[in-house]
């Protein structure tokens, strides 16, 4: 005997019951539901849903939006935007949105999608990865950016402009090269946690201006005298009181660890099994 299918009439529920149903929806369902009608969008907004984080990946040829929603176990959903789908083997679709298990395909303007996501959820943190110049050209202004990963050959003026546009970041990673000199008061220096992987960066200048609390420097120009001067001021409380930890890694070995240890009468940590 075949069971008769019945429709679940969401709008027949009291609002509090409807809200509980909507709170069980994942990102894809929330996005699709909001596009049905202005009334549906308003209901979603009234529910004050929470989203963990949204990450924008902007390589040279497309834009990806990774939506992280830990609350419902939907930890990673990739949104593919028009500049991506034009180069991929994706069937044409006349709706703004269609999706499968892992991807959401968006056919409309990117700014419209970003504004829609922001309007459906309570304020959430964002991250951006890519070349800063391409990011500023391709993306509209993203609110509440707290995490960035920047790569490519980056002009110092571009870096200054990027961090003026996106200040108050919690962490950033800079890969490859920074060409030129940053402003002494650059917002770049105010990032809380920073990882530099940049063989041309003048470490002395950076240590003098850095206002964050955690710093990792990899493969930069860093000499014995620079490190000794920094540590001496740091441990004496003369300067760098904002910094809690510094890790310097240099495969080019432009500094001698033995000389630094002798200077401060210390020794290497030994590994114990």
C-alpha torsion angle, residues 69, 23, 43, 99 (rounded to 10): 50
Structure tokens at 260: 């630094």
* Residue 17: CA count within 13 A, CB half-sphere: 7
pLDDT digits (tens, 9 = 90+) for 65-98: 888 876 666 556 677 665 554 444 444 343 445 5
- 191 pLDDT band, cuts 50/70/90, is very high
Contact 99, 107 (CB under 8 A): no
Q: What pLDDT does 252 receive?
A: 62
Cα separation values, 109 from 3, 31, 51, 106, Å: 43, 15, 22, 8
Q: What pLDDT does 261 receive?
A: 79
Work out the angle at residue 25's Cα, subtended by the Cα atoms of residues 23 and 26, and round it to the nearest 5 degrees: 120
Q: What pLDDT does 80 receive?
A: 67
Contact 248, 242 (CB under 8 A): no
Share of the chain above pLDDT 90, in %: 26
Lowest-pLDDT range of 45-49, 182-186, 256-260? 256-260
Reported as type and span, the H/E element at residue 16 is helix 15-23
- What CA–CA distance (Å, rounded) separates 9 from 153? 55
- 273 pLDDT band, cuts 50/70/90, is very low
Better-scored residue on pLDDT, 8 or 24: 24
- What CA–CA distance (Å, rounded) separates 202 from 234? 19
Q: Report the pLDDT averaged over residues 37-49.
A: 93
Structure tokens at 138: 């391709």
Q: Report the pLDDT averaged over residues 136-154.
A: 89
Q: What pLDDT does 147 receive?
A: 96
- Residues near 182 by beta carbon (within 8 Å), at least 6 away in sequence: 156, 159, 160, 188, 189, 205, 209
Q: Report the pLDDT averaged over residues 117-127.
A: 93
pTM for the whole structure: 0.79
Ranges of each domain in the chain: 14-131, 151-273
Look at residue 193 and tell me whether its pLDDT is greater than 80. Answer: yes
Q: What pLDDT does 93 receive?
A: 40
- What CA–CA distance (Å, rounded) separates 22 from 153? 45
Q: What pLDDT does 230 receive?
A: 84
Lowest-pLDDT range of 89-93, 168-172, 233-237, 268-272? 89-93
Q: What pLDDT does 11 receive?
A: 83
């Amino acid at each position: 005997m075949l069971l008769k299918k019945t429709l679940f009439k969401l709008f027949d529920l009291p609002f509090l019951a409807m809200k509980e149903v909507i709170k069980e929806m994942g990102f894809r369902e929330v996005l699709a539901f909001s596009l049905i009608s202005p009334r549906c969008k308003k209901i979603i907004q009234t529910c004050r849903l929470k989203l963990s984080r949204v990450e924008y990946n902007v390589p040279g040829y497309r834009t990806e939006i990774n939506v992280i929603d830990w609350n419902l176990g939907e930890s990673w959903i990739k949104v593919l935007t028009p500049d991506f789908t034009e180069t991929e083997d994706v069937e044409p679709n006349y709706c703004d949105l269609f999706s499968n298990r892992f991807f959401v395909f968006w056919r409309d303007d990117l700014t419209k999608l970003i504004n829609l996501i922001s309007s459906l959820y309570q304020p959430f943190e964002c991250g951006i990865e890519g070349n800063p110049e391409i990011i500023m050209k391709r993306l509209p202004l993203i609110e509440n950016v707290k995490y960035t990963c920047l790569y490519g050959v980056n002009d110092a003026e571009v870096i200054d402009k990027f961090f003026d546009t996106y200040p108050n970041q919690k962490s950033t990673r800079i890969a490859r090269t920074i060409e030129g000199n940053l402003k002494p008061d650059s917002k770049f220096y105010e990032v809380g946690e920073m990882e530099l992987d940049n063989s041309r960066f003048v470490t002395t200048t950076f240590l003098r201006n850095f206002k964050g609390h955690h710093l990792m420097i990899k493969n930069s120009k860093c000499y014995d005298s620079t490190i000794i001067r920094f540590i001496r001021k740091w441990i004496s409380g003369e300067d760098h009181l904002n910094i809690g930890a510094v890790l310097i890694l240099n495969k080019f070995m432009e500094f001698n660890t033995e000389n630094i240890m002798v200077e401060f009468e210390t020794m290497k940590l030994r590994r114990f099994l």
